[in-house]
């Protein structure tokens, strides 16, 4: 059975993104994956929440990695 878009995103987050954020005291939660629009909503947690570099991390690491691994995703936005 093929993985749905949310499962693909969760797999990338679990295997590649979350471990890197945890090393810096942060974490991430996938709040929603809209399969029609290709938009993923995430919440940065722990040290990432409120960090001045959070937007940079989101754009250059989180969004880039998800879009590389799951090309159907168009944008990753914080909630």
pLDDT digits over 15-49, tens only?
A: 999 999 999 999 999 999 999 999 999 999 999 88
Beta bridge pairs of residue 33: 40
Query: How far is Cα 52 from Cα 12, in angstroms, rounded to an integer?
Result: 24
CATH 3.30.300.130 fits domain 5-78: yes
pTM of the predicted model as reported, rounded to 2 decimal places: 0.91
- Sign for the pseudo-dihedral over CA of 65, 71, 75, 79: negative
Contact status, residue 76 vs residue 62, Cβ threshold 8 Å: yes
């Amino acid at each position: 059975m093929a993985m749905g878009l949310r499962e693909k995103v969760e797999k990338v987050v679990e295997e590649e993104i979350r471990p890197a954020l945890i090393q810096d005291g942060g974490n991430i939660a996938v709040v929603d994956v809209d399969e029609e629009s290709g938009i993923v909503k995430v919440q940065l947690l722990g040290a990432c929440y409120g960090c001045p570099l959070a937007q940079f991390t989101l754009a250059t690491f989180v969004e880039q990695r998800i879009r590389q691994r799951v090309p159907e995703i168009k944008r990753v936005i914080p909630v």
